[in-house]
Structure 1
């Protein structure tokens, strides 16, 4: 299934490059906390890249810097070679909490990005409705968020992020609060969405199986101060099937990641 959603911005694939990114927080008494130190990586155009690490290792700090919500202490961030440090609006960003507006319908929520970009409400609806139909929300276009299951809410939030139409998308544990069965369904749904739109995705998760199953490559981070200690290619065939989790290569990758997380070093 291939859906092309017309939108006011380019849909070409882009790379994201983070170079020597450091973030040090200073308390009023002068105490410093090093959250992130010298983080460097590139997410290639159209790649699905996951970041995994212990709680408090700086993953969200990294995302906030890339999204322009926080100013790093030092380092560079660029998309296709153009600096974006301290600038908002260059990436799509989805948090674990879906942040759907309770007073708007599903259709009204997923079109917010288009409306903010200057697209008329009528045109935004024309763009969004086929996507809602194609990706399992056609029966819920007029529902309010509190009438949806957790999985349906995340579908709406992800489609809203896609319709914001940025080439690079940050997903911060979007399935972290879902039950196991819903989470598995959403993983398959996300892979279909990614395959159709070929966005560059950077995905944070604490779930090693999820990271391996979804990704082309995995970045492993150390405990705070967060450093990148390994980058592992996920050399499993696509399209992925659930049975791949029992394969020898999948198990080897999982063991390697567990060892890295246990030692905190490569």
Structure 2
């Protein structure tokens, strides 16, 4: 059975893009294709004008599970990508320590993942993904397992991180509010086989704060997204990433 048919997606440098759609619509499959873990049977992945089908290592990729290594401290987990890239551990620690201090993990450098809350673990996993040092970041429901209050704090934390590092972010979520709150544009996918059925520009001003979710503009955007989710239609084309 096909997971994706005619998924046409174009992303500009430095954008925050969210993908929403029903369960099983192919969002994670699309991420695996972009990350080079799967190859498309049709179409192409294009980065900077060059076709990159099946090429791994071009993007940072974080799944819903934080995938922290339980035998490594938080500091050693965060520098894993730097070490894989050939940076000596001492130098990697020197790079990571100020970031951990800045982004709320300074007091947890020598702790192990089992000693941290879910939100703190996700912070560490996100910083590890950032330090993998790729311009394109894929985040597959990173806050899906968190409680509502922690999730709200993590959304604001992520926007601060994105603003500081200016990465191109593709974010998968089932939460319409989360997609609108975080994004520059939201793409809606149909039920399997997944297609991009709508593109919703998010014109809410930045910086954003949680109070914006009660604004008339936010409510209207949410209604529009729900309407598209309920009225999927067929499109065709290529997947294109512009970094």
* Structure 2 unaligned blocks of 5 or more: 235-243
Cross-structure match for 1:144: 112
Q: Which protein has greater RCO, CA pairs closer than 8 Å, 6+ apart?
A: 2
For 1:84-103, list aligned pairs within 5 A.
84-103=52-71
The SS at the match of 1:124 is helix
Return the structure number with greater strand share: 1
Cross-structure match for 1:199: 167
User: Under a length normalisation based on structure 1, what TM-score does the superposition of the two structures give?
Assistant: 0.87
For 1:79-122, what per-residue CA distance to the aligned partner results, in whole angstroms no more than 9, with x for missing partners?
A: 11122210110000000001000000000000000000000001
Out of 115, 130, 142, the residue aligned to residue 98 of structure 2 is: 130
Number of residues of Structure 1 aligned to a counterpart in Structure 2: 234
Cross-structure match for 2:184: 216
Cross-structure match for 1:35: 3
Cross-structure match for 2:230: 262
Cross-structure match for 2:211: 243
- The answer to whether the aligner puts 1:58 opposite 2:26 as a matched pair is yes
Cross-structure match for 1:161: 129
Shift of the alpha carbon at 1:265? 3.1
For 1:141-160, what per-residue CA distance to the aligned partner results, in whole angstroms no more than 9, with x for missing partners?
A: 00000000000000000000
C-alpha distance in 2 between matches for 1:180 and 1:71:
36
Out of 152, 156, 159, the residue aligned to residue 188 of structure 1 is: 156
For 1:237-259, what per-residue CA distance to the aligned partner results, in whole angstroms no more than 9, with x for missing partners?
A: 00012111111111111001111
Cross-structure match for 1:110: 78
CA RMSD of aligned residues (A): 0.8
Shift of the alpha carbon at 1:43? 1.2
User: Under a length normalisation based on structure 2, what TM-score does the superposition of the two structures give?
Assistant: 0.95
Cross-structure match for 1:80: 48
* Structure 1 unaligned blocks of 5 or more: 1-32
Out of 142, 145, 154, the residue aligned to residue 174 of structure 1 is: 142
The SS at the match of 1:75 is coil
C-alpha distance in 2 between matches for 1:257 and 1:102:
39
Shift of the alpha carbon at 1:263? 2.1
Deviates most, 37-46 or 195-204: 37-46
C-alpha distance in 2 between matches for 1:45 and 1:127:
25
C-alpha distance in 2 between matches for 1:78 and 1:142:
40
